[in-house]
């Protein structure tokens, strides 16, 4: 938000916001699963919030989507202590669907002033710092897919697919989006300064995609985190629900979170490509690809973080199934788009839209770091249409399998932070445990009549 005042001049920032008729600042931070938590702070309180931080119970990081406090270290067993969220005023932006409000993200600190080690923004920052030790920065362009749902009082779920008509992939306008909601979102997201570039109808009925411009990884993660929150908010303003759930329907495809990842040196020059290198890729680019392949089973735990995520994978889905890479090949887990020069990059297609943007980018950044550090070499690229299980190793088939892979991948864990990995594993194993005891509608339909 251009306020013409240095962000260190807090009184100046407050005056500048007041002059723009802002009376509330929404302060957001990400919990472990990427849910936007925070407070709406009256403008006159912003100065003191900057001074002492805004108190939140630390266990909010570890609250399940259904509101249970999961017993993660530092939370419940420590007596539910506070953390402090300190607004990062460099991220101030308008909040155009709530006139009179501005928006920023916060950094989270423990009481001794150190960063909360499970804070997703902190995890992303740490990985960016590790890449810096190799003289590299990861630049990431996120693409997020989601479904829009409309209320359906007659169904058990209460929601059905919005505009549930077939064949609307890349169809523009009101045919696949009768209320024009996507265009409303695109404009709002632009005005919220999230640097969105384009929006389109995706492959499945009621499924849409919005692309964000690329930028350095912590900034890209901030914008993707805010974009997911914003899409859900704007949908609510329209009487709809937006879901980033990986595979919400049996009869339609899942929603991906593709990351276009390049590497730049200290001068900002792309070092992923090299016109002299094989396939136009540099050594660094090749090693980065190999890092993502080598650490893919552990990455899945973070990029595919729900029980439902593993139902998105499979042959003929446009989602991956095997740990492979290919040149402009959408059936591979890592696709190298055809552009070279300053646009040389890999598209990591592994993640689904439920992934926490900070953690997804941190995990991929960590795998890239390890690939480059260890000068790993990738296998030969996939030729033709993929999904041949004899040609490449398979991704984990379930969340428990992926969590075990994350626990076993000590190198990745060291880069992401051991406390964070422990917190994530505890949180997610609690989810697996709760699910294992829950009777699903499939079981009842399958067994209750004949058995």
Q: List Cα–Cα distances, 251 to 163, 204, 244, 307, 318, in angstroms.
A: 15, 10, 16, 18, 15
The backbone region for 445, taken as left when phi is positive above 0, alpha when psi lies in -120 to 50, beta otherwise, is: alpha
The residue among 413, 136, 389, 211 whose CA lies nearest residue 302 is: 413
Does 386 bind ligand GLU (CB under 6 A)? Our answer is no
Our separate counts of H helices and E strands in the chain read: 12, 16
Judged by CB under 6 A, the chain residues 254 through 313 that form the site for ligand GLU are: 254-256, 312
Q: Which residues contact 440 (CB under 8 A, 6 or more apart)?
A: none
- Partner touching 279 among ligand GLU, Mg ion, none, CB below 5 to 8 Å by kind: none
The answer to whether the CB of 17 falls within 8 A of the CB of 93 is no
Q: What are phi and psi of 142, to 5 degrees?
A: -90, 145
The verdict on 435 binding ligand GLU (CB under 6 A) reads no
Nearest by Cα to 61 from 376, 420, 438, 440: 420
Based on the shown chain and the rule CB under 6 A, indicate whether residue 205 belongs to the binding site for ligand GLU.
no
In whole angstroms, how far apart are CA 448 and each of 11, 43, 436? 66, 58, 18
Decide whether 129 or 169 has the Cβ nearer to ligand GLU: 169
Note the residues at the interface with Mg ion (CB under 5 A): 209
- Using the minimum distance from each CB to ligand GLU, give the nearer residue, 164 or 404: 164
**If we measure between CA atoms, which residue out of 106, 133, 132, 142 comes closest to residue 121?**
106
Nearer to Mg ion, 102 or 336 (CB): 336
Nearer to ligand GLU (CB atom), residue 28 or residue 211:
211
The residues facing 105 across adjacent strands are 28
Site string for ligand GLU, 126-145 (x = CB under 6 A): -------------------x
Per the structure block, which two tokens stand in for 159?
């929601």
Q: How is 109-151 classified by DSSP, letter by letter?
A: E-TTSSBPTT-HHHHHHHHHHHHHTTT-EEEEEEEEEEEEEEE
Q: Considering CB distances under 5 to 8 angstroms, the limit depending on partner class, which of Mg ion, ligand GLU, none binds residue 318?
A: ligand GLU
Residues that bind ligand GLU (rule: CB under 6 A) add up to a total of: 11
- Shortest Cβ 62–ligand GLU spacing (Å): 27
Minimum CB separation from ligand GLU for residue 246, in Å?
8
Nearer to ligand GLU, 330 or 373 (CB): 330
What's the closest the beta carbon of residue 337 comes to ligand GLU, in angstroms? Answer: 12
Binding mask 326-365 for ligand GLU (x = CB under 6 A): ----x------------------x----------------
Closer by beta carbon to ligand GLU, 1 or else 333: 333
- Minimum CB–partner distance for residue 56 and ligand GLU (Å): 33
Question: For residues 122 and 255, which CB has a smaller minimum distance to ligand GLU in the complex?
Answer: 255
Which positions lie near ligand GLU, rule CB under 6 A?
Answer: 145, 203, 253-256, 312, 318-319, 330, 349
């Amino acid at each position: 938000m251009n306020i013409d005042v240095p962000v260190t001049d807090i009184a100046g920032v407050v005056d500048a916001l007041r002059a723009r008729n802002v009376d509330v600042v929404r302060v957001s931070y990400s919990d472990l699963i990427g849910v936007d938590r925070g407070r709406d702070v009256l403008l006159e309180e912003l100065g003191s919030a900057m001074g002492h931080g805004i108190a939140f119970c630390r266990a909010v990081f570890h609250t399940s989507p259904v509101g249970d406090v999961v017993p993660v270290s530092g939370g419940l067993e420590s007596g539910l202590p506070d953390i402090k969220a300190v607004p990062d005023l460099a991220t101030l932006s308008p909040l155009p669907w709530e006139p009179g409000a501005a928006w920023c993200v916060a950094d989270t600190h423990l009481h001794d002033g150190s960063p909360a080690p499970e804070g997703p923004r902190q995890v992303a920052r740490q990985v960016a710092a590790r890449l810096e030790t190799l003289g590299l920065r990861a630049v990431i362009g996120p693409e997020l897919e989601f479904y829009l749902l409309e209320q359906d009082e007659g169904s058990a779920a209460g929601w059905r697919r919005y505009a549930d008509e077939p064949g609307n992939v890349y169809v523009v306008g009101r045919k696949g989006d009768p209320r024009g909601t996507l265009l409303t979102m695109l404009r709002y997201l632009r005005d919220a300064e999230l640097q969105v570039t384009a929006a389109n109808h995706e492959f499945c009925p009621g499924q849409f995609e919005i692309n964000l411009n690329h930028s350095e990884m912590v900034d890209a993660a901030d914008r993707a985190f805010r974009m997911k929150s914003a899409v859900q908010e704007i949908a609510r303003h329209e009487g709809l629900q937006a879901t980033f759930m990986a595979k919400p329907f049996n009869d339609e495809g899942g929603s991906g979170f593709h990351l276009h990842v390049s590497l730049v040196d200290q001068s900002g020059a792309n070092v992923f490509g090299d016109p002299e290198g094989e396939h136009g890729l540099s050594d660094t680019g090749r090693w980065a690809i190999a890092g993502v392949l080598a650490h893919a089973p552990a990455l899945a735990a973070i990029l595919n973080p729900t029980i439902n995520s593993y139902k998105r994978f499979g042959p003929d889905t446009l989602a991956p199934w095997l740990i492979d890479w290919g040149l402009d090949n959408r059936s591979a887990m890592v696709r190298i788009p055809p552009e070279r020069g300053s646009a040389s990059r890999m598209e990591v297609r592994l993640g689904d839209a439920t992934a926490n943007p900070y953690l997804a980018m941190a995990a991929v950044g960590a795998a890239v770091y390890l690939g480059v550090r260890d000068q790993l070499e990738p296998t030969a690229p996939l030729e033709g249409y993929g999904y041949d299980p004899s040609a490449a190793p398979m991704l984990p088939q379930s969340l428990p399998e992926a969590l075990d892979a994350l626990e076993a991948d000590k190198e990745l864990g060291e880069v992401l932070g051991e406390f964070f990995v422990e917190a994530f594993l505890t949180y997610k194993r609690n989810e697996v445990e709760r699910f294992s005891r829950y009777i699903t509608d499939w079981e009842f339909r399958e067994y209750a009549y004949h058995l």
